[in-house]
Amino acid sequence: MTVAGLLFNEVEFERGDFHLEVNAAFPQKELTVVLGPSGSGKTTLLDLAAGFIAPGRGRIIEVGIDVTHMPPESRRVGVVFQEHALFPHMNVMDNVAFGPSVRGSGRAEAREKASIYLDLVKMGHFSRRRPDTLSGGERQRVALARALAIEPQLLLLDEPFSALDAALRRELRREVKRIQEKTGITALLVTHDQDEAMALADHLAVMRNGRIEQSGPPREIWRNPSNLFTGLFLGRSTRLGILRYSRKPNGSLYAVTGAGEIPLPEDSTTPNLPATVLVRPDGAKLDPRGTLSGRITDAEYSEGFWRLRLEPENGEDGDLMEIDCDGSDEPPKGEIVSVTVRGDSARVLKGSVPKMV
């Protein structure tokens, strides 16, 4: 049985027109990533966990302790902000030692803790430097060490990599994952970056409009989204509006779309129309004998393969096919190609495919 490190028990919060309502448990000693678009409530959820704001109703339990009405300074919570917020007049060592000092550690003990966590984030040799002499990535490492130095039971990270370039983001998220696994701390990170969420999360929660749409292991949510919003928000996919369902003489079930027929898994549900069939890029491939067809409208080269976007000739507005293919030559835009879909890869979800903007 998974133990909850962070529990939102029927928590509600209102501010102006925004209303958050969450009932969710996040696992202890794991890294939970909350993913959602801007305005979905991700940072509000983090602020509730930190104690920066209080819920209108419900309870917040952190590692077995009811902290609903507990002020931030009384909670064993470390927070890493988007802008790292280091004290500019203090050197790196004093920045990290500040938290333990405020919480009762003597100078020597506070500096010893600071030294331990600076070494953990590979910044020990920068202890005498001032924040303004460090790069953005170095400052964020110091901010992480400062959050850990108070030895919290819960680590909160508010889009900590958003101000960094792509290469540095990848490096730092690997470091955060390494440190979380090494310390065994319960962590909650919020982001709007799907790649970041999938790379980091032990547990993933997808938010929209102040609600958690789906929560669980990231691979399971990727493969089996519970609704169309979650499926589309998590990343690239073929999404085709279903015109009707077709049952073959051998019993096989197909979704008939403007691009052609897609085989459905045996256990597929068939919700009333409108409905959309969703296929991840690794579930489809170019194949002259394929049952789908579309015109190549875009080709993007990435890490050894081409990411193709295809539009069906007779599709509905919003129908789109996204597949990956190998090859050194760029596939010609405008060419009509055939695609086959692996039989177990399609998911049928209630709702219309969003129209293209």
331 HSE (CA, 13 A, CB side): 25
Instruction: Look at residue 314 in the predicted model and tell me its pLDDT.
Output: 84
Burial class, 22, CB count within 10 angstroms (exposed 0-12 / middle 13-18 / buried 19+): buried
DSSP assigned state of 174? H
Position 356 scores a pLDDT of 61
Name 299's bridge partners. 308
What is the side-by-side strand order in the sheet with 203-208? Answer: 77-80, 154-158, 186-191, 31-35, 203-208, 211-216
Q: Can you spell out the DSSP letters for 227-264?
A: SHHHHHHTS--EEEEEEEEEE-TTS-EEEEETTEEEE-
**For the chain, which domains are there?**
4-223 (3.40.50.300), 237-350 (2.40.50.140)
CA–CA dist 220, 214 (Å, integer): 10
pLDDT by residue for the chain (357 residues), tens only, comes to 456 889 999 999 999 999 999 999 999 999 999 999 999 999 999 999 999 999 999 999 999 999 999 999 899 999 998 777 789 999 999 999 998 998 888 889 999 999 999 999 999 999 999 999 999 889 999 999 999 999 999 999 999 888 788 888 888 889 999 999 999 999 999 999 998 999 999 999 999 999 999 999 999 999 999 999 999 999 899 999 999 999 988 889 999 999 999 999 888 888 899 999 999 999 999 999 999 999 999 999 987 889 999 999 888 888 999 999 987 788 889 999 999 998 789 999 999 988 764
Residue with tokens 């958050």: 20
Show the CA angle centred on residue 296, arms to residues 292 and 297, nearest 5°: 130
pLDDT of 1 reads 47
